[in-house]
Amino acid sequence: MIKINNLSKKIRRKRILNNINAELKGITGILGPNGAGKTTLMKIIASVEKGDGDTEIIYKKKNDNEVKIGFLPQNFHIYPNLTVMNVLKLLSTLQEMYDEAHLERLLNQLALTEYRNEKMKNLSGGTLQRVGIAQALLNKPDYLIIDEPTTGLDINECIKLRTTLLSISREVDIIISSHIPEDITSICNHLIVIEQGGKIFEGGLKEIIEKSNGLTYETVVHQSEISELNRIGSILKVGQLSDNKLKVRIVTKTPLLDGSFKEVKPDFLSGYVSLLKGEK
C-alpha cells in the first residue's frame, strides 16, 4: 500500500495538485479528465518529481527491503532504431540488473516474444506499451505505476493491455491512471477520482455507481429536442431509433415530470459523470 499525505504541487506559481490525501491499494485506478493532474500525480508517486512542502508519500512493504518502483510514463518513445530485446538488455544493463532469465520471462509474460527482433519504431501502439511495461518490470518492482497507457490504442489493443495488467497484478501492486472509465472498471478494485488538481472521490467501484442512484434516466426525444436535454443534465448515451427519434440516457437532478423520463439503474459511467458535475 502507498499512503499519500498532503500532496500538493505548484509549477511556476500555478497550482497543479491541491492537498491530496489517499491510499493506493490493490489495483488502484486514478481517473480524471484531461488536465486534471494525473500525470503530475503519477510522476510524484513514482518519485520522478517531488511534491511541495508538506507532501509525504509512504510506501508500505511486507518486508524491510528497499521499495522498488517501476514506472511507465505517458509518452514512452525511446531508441526507435533498437530492437525490443536490445532496448530491454540496454536498460537492464544500465540499472546493473541484467538477468537473461528474467528478460525471457518478461517477454513471455507480456506477449513480446515474437517482437524481440523488431525495431521499436516499427511497433504498434499496443506492443510499444507492452515493451514499456516490460522495461518498468526489469527491476522486479513492488509497485508498477503506469500513466495513461491506453491513450491512442485501438479497442483490441486496449483489451490486450488490460488483460496483461490483470495477469501481472498477481505479482506487483499496480497504479494506473486514465481518463477512460473502462480502463478502470475492467481492472481496478480501488479508485481515486481527481478533477482540477483535487481528489473528489476515493473508494470502490460500487460506491461510485451509488452516486447516481435516483439520478439516472432514459427518455425518447426527437432530434431537435437534444439541446434542451443538454441543459437539464449530462447525456451519457444516445441511440438512434426510427423517425428521427433518439433514445437518450441522462444523469440529472431535474428530470422532466411529464412521464417521459424513466428512472433506470445507475452504472459506473452515470456515477462518474454525476460526480464530475457535482450532481450528488
Ligand X SMILES: Nc1ncnc2c1ncn2[C@@H]1O[C@H](COP(=O)(O)OP(=O)(O)O)[C@@H](O)[C@H]1O
Does 175 participate in binding ligand X (rule CB under 6 A)? no
Q: Interaction with Mg ion in 54-113: which residues (CB under 5 A)?
A: 74
Least distance in angstroms from the C-beta of 199 to ligand X? 13
User: Which residue's Cβ has the minimum distance to Mg ion?
Assistant: 39
Q: Please say which residue, 43 or 190, places its beta carbon nearer to ligand X.
A: 43
The answer to whether 78 and 88 are in contact (CB under 8 A) is no
* β-pair type (143-147, 69-72): parallel
Question: In 3-state terms, what secondary structure has residue 79?
Answer: coil
The answer to whether 56 and 13 are in contact (CB under 8 A) is no
Build a one-symbol-per-residue string for 16-45: x at contacts with ligand X by CB under 6 A, - elsewhere. Answer: x---------------x-xxxxxxx-----
CA distance 38 to 105: 31
Q: Which stretch binds ligand X (CB under 6 A): 10-18, 82-90, 206-214, 222-230?
A: 10-18
Least distance in angstroms from the C-beta of 177 to ligand X? 7
Least distance in angstroms from the C-beta of 261 to ligand X? 33
Q: Please say which residue, 138 or 145, places its beta carbon nearer to ligand X.
A: 145
Close Cβ partners of 39 (under 8 Å, ≥ 6 residues apart): 74, 147, 148, 177
Q: Interaction with Mg ion in 24-43: which residues (CB under 5 A)?
A: 38-39
3-class SS shares of the chain: helix, strand, coil, % to 5: 35, 30, 35
DSSP, res 97 = -
Contact residues for ligand X (CB under 6 A)? 11-12, 14, 16, 32, 34-40
Contact residues for Mg ion (CB under 5 A)? 38-39, 74
